[in-house]
Amino acid sequence: MTLAEHRRKVLRKLGFVHDGGKKHEKWVFPKETKRVKTGVSHGNGDVGHGLLKSFCKQLHITKQQYQEIASCNMSQESYYKHLVNSEIV
């Protein structure tokens, strides 16, 4: 599984929906807001620390929370509660 495929899997798990895009895929979180959005490159190359940090910032999570999501320890409901508690939505 490429890193882009992994990121798509995490986004789907959190309830994001694909919203088009030419250079990069656009993904939005549809629950009550359009403030939470991110993109996934069409490339299959490795993503360094800087891009992962940027991805986490766009999702309003820490790298540790990203790892929890990827390992199925954070659900879509928990993520949504985090956004509400952080006053993002």
Say whether pLDDT at 42 is over 60.
Answer: no
Neighbouring CB atoms inside 10 A of 16's CB total 23
pTM of the complete model = 0.68
The total number of structural domains that make up the chain = 1
pLDDT band at 16 (very low <50, low <70, confident <90, very high): confident
Q: What pLDDT is stored for residue 41 in this prediction?
A: 65
State mean pLDDT over 19-45. 70
How far apart are the C-alpha atoms of 89 and 23, rounded to whole Å? 28
For the domain that residue 45 is a member of, what is the CATH number? Answer: 3.30.920.30
CA angle, residues 51, 53, 56, in degrees to nearest 5: 110
State mean pLDDT over 82-86. 87
Q: What pLDDT is stored for residue 30 in this prediction?
A: 76
HSE-up of residue 20 (Cα within 13 Å, Cβ side): 1
Say whether pLDDT at 64 is over 70.
Answer: yes
Quote the domain boundaries for residue 29.
3-85
